[in-house]
Amino acid sequence: MMRTRPLKVALLGCGVVGSEVARIMATHADDLAARIGAPLELAGVAVRRPSKVREGIDPALITTDATALVKRGDIDVVVEVIGGIEPARTLITTAFEHGASVVSANKALLAEDGATLFAAAEKHGKDLYYEAAVAGAIPLLRPLRESLAGDKVNRVLGIVNGTTNFILDRMDSSGAGYSEALDEATALGYAEADPTADVEGFDAAAKAAILAGIAFHTRVRLDDVHREGLTEVTAADIASARRMGCTVKLLAICERAADGKSVTARVHPAMIPLSHPLASVREAYNAVFVEAEAAGQLMFYGPGAGGPPTASAVVGDLVAVCRNRLGESTGPGESAYTRLPVNSMAEVVTRYHISLDVADKPGVLAQVATVFAEHDVSIDTVRQQGRLDSEGLGGEASLVVVTHRAPDAALSGTVEALRKLDTVRGVASIMRVEGE
């Protein structure tokens, strides 16, 4: 039996995502009411520029006073899609204090200070849902948090930023350089005017922190995530990967240590074999590969950004939270009971692909191999190719070494020692190898 009194929703932010949330609420009002058991009412929309025309939204609902909106006391659910740390954090905690549950897409805030939000939600007996914070429309967080609640997740490996995946895909498919591929991404609307958050890995690192926290039932903050962007990836790196039967992706990797006593979270470019499911993820799509003890290997794939996909996840959370309101219950809150330490990147066991410019003379390979042995790093494969100089003479060579798995600190130490060899003219590129 459907309740006639509507559930009131306050919308904080009415940009690309917020306007799409409002559109879905209006267009699918009857269906949403049937699914929830009560109609929804958009009770207010907080924006920065009230003079802007917002199609389909009653101008009487527009306000610039977001604080007053969340303090009204008759609001059932606050939908926060303004992003950033403040005022979003204060607005969300104020909403809890005044009786509202919250649906958020704010990955930066959740990664930076999720503990404060979860504590406030628990204190006031309200819901905090945030499916849209990671991978847009892809159902990912709820399966990790609920469907796999009876399992032990050991690894989460994913492409969680569409802009960087588009850039690397273009570099691989067309041979374009980084700058060219970025220009194309910008022209097509995949990259912001200032792409720093994407290309330097900040966006993916925030998502990695959220994924690790849910997967391993421990608190992982943005500062715990090792981060490297893709601005140093070259066409030569892409070509080297292809020769190895690999492609290059910017990966978010969250792992439980072999002994189960610690975890790591990192974001960086890596070579992955073409046989790996993530290698075929093209354009601006996202995909996340989950490895669980009982469930085995699972992959979640789809559009990871944009107004409609993100709004789909927001409204999905809105339906779930409203159902909980009607049932006078709450969904699962934060699960951080394991309190596992987060290891630094130096302790991560990984593989390296190292390309060196060396003198083309006898004994060079032996010198290089000795450096690896001194740092207790085992070599998997070596490829050496001589090069002619501008006068058609020899004298230099390219030496490509792929290692077996070793602690990252040992691998980094190896590279620093190689730089000091007289016969090594330069380190052309260094990249980790994953997915094997």
Catalytic residue list: 207
User: In this structure, are strands 128-129 and 285-292 parallel, antiparallel, or unpaired?
Assistant: unpaired
Locate 25 and state its tokens.
Answer: 């609420």
Locate 332 and state its tokens.
Answer: 């699962």
φ, ψ of residue 299 to 5 degrees: the values are: -130, 135
Close Cβ partners of 291 (under 8 Å, ≥ 6 residues apart)? 153, 154, 155, 156, 157, 297, 298
User: In this structure, are strands 379-387 and 396-403 parallel, antiparallel, or unpaired?
Assistant: antiparallel
**SS3 of residue 109 by DSSP:** helix
What is 286-309 written as a DSSP string? EEEEEEETTTEEEEEEEE-SSHHH
Residues 400 and 384: their CA atoms lie apart, in Å, by 6
Locate 65 and state its tokens.
Answer: 């006073």
Full strand arrangement of the beta sheet holding 101-104: 62-63, 40-46, 7-12, 77-80, 101-104, 128-129
Partners of 269 in beta bridges: 250
Q: State the amino acid at position 222 in one-letter form.
A: L
Secondary element (H or E) of residue 258: none
Q: Which of 194, 167, 169 is nearest to 180 (CA)?
A: 167
